[in-house]
Structure 1
């Protein structure tokens, strides 16, 4: 069962998210926090698999918390909850290693799907916000060619990661085992000197990687 930490300064919103998430048998909301500072304090004491976090919060916002969490606990998955006015924060959160972002207006099915996607290695981007965020990620970027020597298979896997595909989806599409896909991604991260698959996804978009 995945242990979730909800980080949101509005108690009524936290309660609603908890009710939705715990409808799924694989998810339990283990802890809650009002802001990023409280979230870090929780992570110092308890084992957490997944953090669902608001962007705008007092004391420490979601961007600041994401930066610290990914530096100290890189294996923890982070999904940023955002509004249309928070897209600048969302871009920065992705750059710091967040595993995706979702609008607060998302329905319950999409919310649970986002948890599964992140936990299985996917990059969750709410369609409506992605349309605003991706241009910002590409801003001041002239689609440079890839300078790192990646094999054709590695380039294809990088492309699929950039599309938000999970390891399982990539494995099914390329008729490989999940373990083989993981090994390829590890090698790609080493070659590109990137920290994780979120940075790899952004790398794929910036470099316009295609088949």
Structure 2
């Protein structure tokens, strides 16, 4: 039998989950909580197989609770439950090792199927939800920092170009040939979608003055 602690600050949701699972022979609720502090205490006391946790709760939210469970080294698998979830929350949940994510507008049978899958050692992370969150996050990062695609040396060339250095000055400062500078400039123009050195300099000027240097 799989033992669960269920945590949700909406009593209607909490009661509905209890009713859903009360006649299930495989999934047994050993404790409930309606706030983060109580949830953490109940999970610590009962050491359930699964903690079904609302993402938004008073005191300690679901993601913070996931982090605390990891910090304590408790062998508890966490399933996050939410009415809505942001891309950042999805990414944090996956990075934190959440075993499942279930949206509250899904059918009740979906929740049961998720819990059974997680109880069996699997994961329930909706592929489209995770892929969309990661895709949008990466797109936002690229938009926020157009220089991320540059190599370290290309960034050095870009920085010197933006300072008004000529190709010869750049070559001398970086101890490379003029031909190598031209190759780097061609790559920089291509990656940044710029036509010339002036356009690149304007992009740098419009950025945050100190854009992230490529790794």
Instruction: Check the 8 A contact 1:77/1:98 in 2, yes or no.
Output: yes
Q: How far apart are 1:115 and its partner, in Å?
A: 0.6
Report the TM-score when normalising by structure 2.
Answer: 0.59
Distance 2:99 2:138 in 1: 18
Question: Residue 84 of structure 1 aligns to a residue in which SS?
Answer: coil
> Rg larger in 1 or in 2?
2
- Note the C-alpha offset of 1:123: 1.8
The CA distance in 2 between the partners of 1:137 and 1:104, in whole Å, is: 23
Q: What are the Cα deviations for residues 117-159 of structure 1, in whole angstroms up to 9, with x where unaligned? A: 11222221235633533425766599xxxxxxxxxxxxxxxxx
Aligned-residue offset at 1:18: 1.3
CA distance in 2, matches of 1:111, 1:83: 13
Which residue is equivalent to 1:17?
Answer: 17
Match of 1:4 in 2: 4
Residues paired across the two proteins, number:
142
User: Root-mean-square deviation (CA), in Å?
Assistant: 2.3
Structure 1, unmatched stretches of 5+, are 143-211
2: distance between equivalents of 1:26 and 1:136?
38
Aligned residues of 1:54 and 1:62 also touching (Cα < 8 A)? yes
Kept after mapping to 2: 8 A contact 1:103/1:126: no
Q: Could you tell me how far 1:97 is from its partner in structure 2?
A: 1.4
SS in 2 for 1:124: coil
Using a 3 Å threshold, how does the CA distance of structure 1 residues 96 and 42 change in structure 2: closer, same or farther? same
Structure 1 position 110 matched with structure 2 position 110: yes
1:68 Cα deviation (Å)? Answer: 0.6
Is the contact made by 2:53 and 2:78 (CA closer than 8 Å) also made in structure 1? yes
Residue equivalent to 1:99: 99
Higher RCO (CA < 8 A, seq sep 6+)? 1
Structure 2, unmatched stretches of 5+, are 143-147, 149-215
